[in-house]
């Protein structure tokens, strides 16, 4: 799921405060990801910055608002806005979450947990189908960061594997979410990786997490507000050793540092891919 | 397991009452983790409004702004995941928010923050420029009824809201503003990718408000002259043409 003819490479989540250095940056293989919801305005400079950046680097769209894991089908009006962005920016990949954020017409500014039940799986697959049909292309579904230990009929990895089987979607493996969820819920990462279809993984995410302010290390929060943590770097190396190189993204949405600091993390992620391609194990 | 889970989680986020989630959890001890979702949503909404209303936040301070934003979210939760659309009714909410009633201008300052945001995200449709009028017969010009460009916002207050807002934008050094009621007009719009703003006289405002209502240039000039007999509508029209204030003509 990388661009035909180009090897998978590392990208950066694009923030408005970094438009200028992002446009000027020449690093080989650099690509950018944005939330389409931040570009659903009638016009204005944001859209023009993304036009300029898209003219020199691949861009992917990572949605947070379709609420595929909710009770209600994805909003057709929101899908039309998505389609307009696909036509304008021709993203190299598109993705959404195994989560929900809309309930009875109200939007919640978070990625809320979908119960791991057979009924929820049927509904989720219908919603993924609806998104793929409306947009005319395959979507990558991201594994959630989980906090609540819930009774399950289907373990998360099987839920994702079954979604891939039924809908033909791909997976966005968020390595930080996998680490955070496994720690918070106490599941086994190796068994999780054994269950998901490896070929379906079209992108990886790396981000920072923080211990909960009140509960401490008992509960890790996926804040996107800190550098990628060492255990997540190690898990990333293990995942790449297992899957081979895949496009990988450094995400940072809070406590946003200078562009150069993110580039350093992005370089580290890129080196792991290059070592894997050269058949060496990475030492980052 | 039924679909009640979504209802119960929403109840826990909006009210903080999480006990209804217990049947879905492997251990009741996990209920305390529910606070993560409530905090994420409440904090996220406050951040959205803080970013959209920077001058309001600067005037009242973060400690006052946060509960006001939370109260707004509770009264008017978003229905659209596009966060740049959220907060449309915040100024009206502030007008009725008792704790800030002493800051009589605060709602109008919020309207200026909103105008800035909407101008920033407004359509890129081309503005009317002088070249498009070159072929027009001289007698036809007064009958032209150009619309205002979609980025244009006319902001009006009975208090010196614009002076307060302008001197608290970005890191501006706050100016001394005499607080007494008087008509106050400002124009907020986008020109060449940058949001601009300036004060308007009552006559300037009358001219542009008439165009906004679909009137012709001639009628708009009359409206301005009725406010100020010496108003120079030609100068204002020239400035409007040169700085992307007018959109296409109504035909």
* Residue B66, helix vs strand vs coil: helix
Write down the pLDDT at residue A1: 46
Q: Determine the residue among A109, A117, A144, A152 to mutate to test chain B binding: the one whose Cβ has the most chain B Cβ atoms within 10 Å.
A: A109
Enter the tokens of residue A278. Answer: 């050269």
Write down the pLDDT at residue A58: 97
Going from N- to C-terminal start, the domains of chain B cover: 1-103, 119-251
**With an 8 Å Cβ cutoff, are B150 and A42 in contact?**
yes
Tell me how close the Cα of A269 comes to any Cα of chain B, in angstroms.
Answer: 28
ipTM: 0.93
Q: Which of A42, A110, A184 sits opposite B121 (nearest CB)?
A: A42
**With an 8 Å Cβ cutoff, are A148 and B35 in contact?**
no
Architecture of domain B119-251: Alpha-Beta Complex (3.90)
Q: Which of B45, B81, B122 sits opposite A37 (nearest CB)?
A: B81
Tell me how close the Cα of B152 comes to any Cα of chain A, in angstroms.
Answer: 13
Write down the pLDDT at residue B173: 78
> For A151-175, how does the pLDDT look when each residue is reduced to its tens digit (9 = 90+)?
999 999 999 999 999 999 999 999 9
**With an 8 Å Cβ cutoff, are B121 and A149 in contact?**
no
Does B157 have pLDDT greater than 60?
yes
Interface A:B, Cβ pairs < 8 A: 113
> For A138-147, how does the pLDDT look when each residue is reduced to its tens digit (9 = 90+)?
999 999 999 9
> For B46-94, how does the pLDDT look when each residue is reduced to its tens digit (9 = 90+)?
999 999 999 999 999 999 999 999 999 999 999 999 999 999 999 999 9
Q: Measured between CB atoms, does A147 come within 8 Å of chain B?
A: yes
Contacts of A212 in chain B (CB under 8 A): 36
Contacts of B3 in chain A (CB under 8 A): 71, 119
SS (H, E, C) B130-196: HHHHCCCCCCCHHHCCEEECCCCEEEEECCCHHHHHHCCCCCCCCCCCCCCCCCEEEEEEEECCEEE
* Residue B78, helix vs strand vs coil: coil
Scanning A223-252 for CB atoms below 8 A from B yields none
**Pairing outcome for strands A210-212 and A216-221:** antiparallel
Q: Measured between CB atoms, does B143 come within 8 Å of chain A?
A: no
Tell me how close the Cα of B247 comes to any Cα of chain A, in angstroms.
Answer: 14
- The full length of chain A comes to 284
Listed in order, strand segments (DSSP E) in B38-111 are none
Give the residue carrying structure tokens 């509770």. Answer: B74
Does B171 have pLDDT greater than 80?
no
> Rounded mean pLDDT of chain B?
94
* Residue A247, helix vs strand vs coil: coil
**Phi, psi at residue B104, to the nearest 5°?**
-60, -25
- Residues A82/A132, Cβ–Cβ less than 8 Å: no
Enter the tokens of residue A120. Answer: 């929820």
Q: Which of A44, A112, A151 sits opposite B26 (nearest CB)?
A: A151
Enter the tokens of residue A137. Answer: 């292309």
**With an 8 Å Cβ cutoff, are A148 and B25 in contact?**
yes
A154: Cβ contacts below 8 Å, ≥ 6 apart:
A116, A117, A118, A121, A162
Residue B87 region by backbone torsions, left for phi larger than 0, else alpha for psi between -120 and 50, else beta: left
Class of domain A10-277: alpha beta
Write down the pLDDT at residue B175: 79
Q: Measured between CB atoms, does A153 come within 8 Å of chain B?
A: yes
Q: Which of B41, B44, B121 sits opposite A44 (nearest CB)?
A: B121
Tell me how close the Cα of A133 comes to any Cα of chain B, in angstroms.
Answer: 21
Q: pLDDT 10s per residue in chain A (284 long)?
A: 445 568 999 999 999 999 999 999 999 999 999 999 999 999 999 999 999 999 999 999 999 999 999 999 999 999 999 999 999 999 999 999 999 999 999 999 999 999 999 999 999 999 999 999 999 999 999 999 999 999 999 999 999 999 999 999 999 999 999 999 999 999 999 999 999 999 999 999 999 999 999 999 999 999 999 999 999 999 999 999 999 999 999 999 999 999 999 999 999 999 999 999 998 765 55
* Helix, strand and coil percent figures for chain A, each rounded to 5: 45, 20, 40
Task: Give the whole-angstrom CA distance, residue B157 versus residue B97.
Answer: 18
**Phi, psi at residue A169, to the nearest 5°?**
-75, 170
**With an 8 Å Cβ cutoff, are A44 and B40 in contact?**
no
Give the Å distances, CA to CA, from A111 to A77, A143, B36, B157, B188: 20, 11, 11, 40, 35
Enter the tokens of residue B174. Answer: 């706050």
**With an 8 Å Cβ cutoff, are A151 and B13 in contact?**
no
């Amino acid at each position: 799921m990388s661009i035909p003819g180009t090897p998978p490479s590392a990208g950066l989540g694009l923030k408005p405060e970094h438009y200028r250095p992002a446009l000027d940056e020449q690093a080989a293989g650099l690509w950018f990801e944005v939330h389409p919801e931040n570009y659903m305005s009638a016009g204005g400079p944001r859209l023009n910055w993304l036009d300029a950046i898209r003219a020199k680097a691949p861009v992917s769209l990572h949605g947070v608002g379709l609420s595929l894991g909710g009770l209600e089908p994805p909003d057709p009006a929101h899908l039309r806005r998505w389609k307009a962005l696909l036509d304008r920016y021709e993203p190299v990949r598109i993705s959404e979450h195994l989560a929900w954020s809309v309930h009875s017409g109200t939007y919640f500014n978070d990625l809320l947990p979908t119960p791991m039940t057979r009924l929820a799986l049927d509904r989720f697959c219908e919603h993924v189908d609806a998104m793929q049909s409306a947009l005319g292309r395959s979507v990558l579904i991201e594994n959630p960061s989980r906090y609540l230990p819930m009774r399950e009929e289907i373990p998360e990895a099987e839920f994702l594997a079954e979604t891939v089987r039924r809908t033909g979607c791909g997976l966005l493996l968020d390595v930080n979410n996998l680490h955070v969820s496994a720690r918070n819920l106490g599941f086994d990462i190796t068994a999780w990786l054994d269950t998901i279809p490896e070929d379906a993984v079209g992108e990886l995410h790396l981000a920072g997490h923080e211990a909960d302010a009140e509960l401490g290390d008992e509960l890790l929060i996926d804040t996107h507000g800190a550098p990628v943590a060492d255990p997540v770097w190690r898990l990333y190396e293990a995942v790449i050793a297992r899957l081979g190189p895949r496009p990988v993204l450094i995400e940072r949405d809070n406590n946003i540092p200078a562009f150069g600091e993110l580039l350093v993390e992005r370089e580290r992620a890129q080196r792991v891919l290059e070592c894997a391609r050269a058949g060496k194990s990475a030492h980052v | 397991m039924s679909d009640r889970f979504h209802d119960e989680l929403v109840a826990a986020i909006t009210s903080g009452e999480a006990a209804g989630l217990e049947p879905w959890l492997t251990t009741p001890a996990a209920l305390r983790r529910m606070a993560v979702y409530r905090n994420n949503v409440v904090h996220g909404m406050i951040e959205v409004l803080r970013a959209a209303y920077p001058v309001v936040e600067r005037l009242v301070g973060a400690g006052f702004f946060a509960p006001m934003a939370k109260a707004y979210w509770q009264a008017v939760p978003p229905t659209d995941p596009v966060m740049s659309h959220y907060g449309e009714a915040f100024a009206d909410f502030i007008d009725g928010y008792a704790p800030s009633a002493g800051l009589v201008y605060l709602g109008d300052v919020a309207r200026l923050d909103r105008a800035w945001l909407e101008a920033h995200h407004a359509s890129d449709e081309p503005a009317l420029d002088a070249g498009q009028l070159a072929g027009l017969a001289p007698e036809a010009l007064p009958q032209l009824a150009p619309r205002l460009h979609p980025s244009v916002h006319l902001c009006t207050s009975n208090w010196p809201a614009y002076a307060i807002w302008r001197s608290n934008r970005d890191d501006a050094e706050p100016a001394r503003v005499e607080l007494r009621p008087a008509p106050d007009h400002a124009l907020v719009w986008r020109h060449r990718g940058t949001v601009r703003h300036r004060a308007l006289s009552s006559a300037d405002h009358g001219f542009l408000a008439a165009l906004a209502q679909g009137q012709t240039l001639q009628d708009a000039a009359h409206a301005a002259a009725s406010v100020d007999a010496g108003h120079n509508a030609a100068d204002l029209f020239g400035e409007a043409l040169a700085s992307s204030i007018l959109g296409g003509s109504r035909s």
